[in-house]
Amino acid sequence: MTRKTNPSYSDPAWCEAQYNPRGAVPNATEIYARWPIASARVKEKLPHRAGFRYGTHPREVMDVFHAPAARGALVFFHGGYWRAFSKDDFAFLAEGLVEAGITIAMPSYPLCPEASLDAIVKSGESAIVKLWREALSPAERARFVVCGHSAGGYLTGALFATDWAEHGLPPTPFCGGLSISGVFELEPLVNTTMNTAIGLTKERALALSLGATCPHVAAPLVLCVGEQESPEFHRQSAELAHAWPEVCRAPVTIPGRHHFDVVEELGRAGTPVFNEAISLFA
């Protein structure tokens, strides 16, 4: 991620094909249309703390699904290129993890273009601080994992690059992280249609990219990518693993999965993504 700029980054058609997964998955709309329906069912079924506020913005709220006798907690940051979706789309992921004894926190966060990406990262930091101080038991804090998909995978990486002592937390407040289909080098997003909302310049994209930073958190960060995702999504995780060898191992390729169905595995016991998450609580 410290390499020279790829000439293809100036080609909008190439950037769009590599970074807009909706174009690569014909039934993407059908897939993410089922998420809020499944999530509403899970929220009816599972007791949870709804609308727990962690900031002043209307979207700075989270739902917390406490597992009985929890052996740990996981916070999940949703994707949508920082401009779509909310906690209400992904609550369906909580069911299998709660059954495995893991408390799940599902934040929404401010979206572009109303909020800048810098502000969204700060919002994620606020969510962690609020959870740590007010919502988690000692057992949940002791085995606390951060997780995210796509844009939320970037936020997961950004939380590893945060100096938590500045927030009054231990330097390593969580025991691990799981980034699913994350994007960590942001320059190629500048020439995509998504950037109409994100609003990145080349300079801001370079400044917010993670490969040139150093992780502050001394915990393992697992990187997963669906086998059927574009070459750039695979490269993104491979290069972060190369840049951060102190916390990352080689990325895990999830067989037969694309950008939209790979995240669903997090909520299904026994799948590769679920197993990677559970391994972080060992």
pLDDT tens digit string along 88-127?
Answer: 999 999 999 999 999 999 999 999 999 999 999 999 999 9
Domain count, the chain: 1
- Angstrom CA distances, 108 to 9, 35, 68, 200, 207, stand at 30, 15, 24, 21, 24
The answer to whether residue 1 sits within a structural domain is no
Domain hosting 25: range is 7-279
Taking only the tens place, the pLDDT of each residue in 214-235 is 999 999 999 999 999 999 999 9
Taking only the tens place, the pLDDT of each residue in 62-79 is 999 999 999 999 999 999
Taking only the tens place, the pLDDT of each residue in 7-20 is 799 999 999 999 99
The answer to whether residue 187 sits within a structural domain is yes
Taking only the tens place, the pLDDT of each residue in 233-260 is 999 999 999 999 999 999 999 999 999 9
Q: What percent of the chain has pLDDT over 70?
A: 98
CATH number at 101 reads 3.40.50.1820
Q: What is the pLDDT of residue 1?
A: 43
pLDDT above 60: residue 4: no
The answer to whether residue 250 sits within a structural domain is yes
* Cα 53 from Cα 93, distance rounded (Å): 21
CA angle, 231 then 232 then 234, to 5°: 65
The answer to whether residue 2 sits within a structural domain is no
The answer to whether residue 247 sits within a structural domain is yes
The answer to whether residue 197 sits within a structural domain is yes
Instruction: Write the DSSP symbol of residue 248.
Output: B
Nearest to 105 by CA among 93, 121, 123, 120: 93
Taking only the tens place, the pLDDT of each residue in 169-215 is 999 999 999 999 999 999 999 999 999 999 999 999 999 999 889 99
Nearest to 110 by CA among 63, 136, 78: 78
Q: Which two tokens stand for residue 150?
A: 């796509």
Nearest to 265 by CA among 31, 26, 17, 108: 31
- Angstrom CA distances, 205 to 9, 100, 118, 211, 229, stand at 12, 38, 11, 12, 22
The answer to whether residue 267 sits within a structural domain is yes
Tell me which H or E stretch contains 14: helix 12-19
**pTM for this structure?**
0.96
The answer to whether residue 171 sits within a structural domain is yes
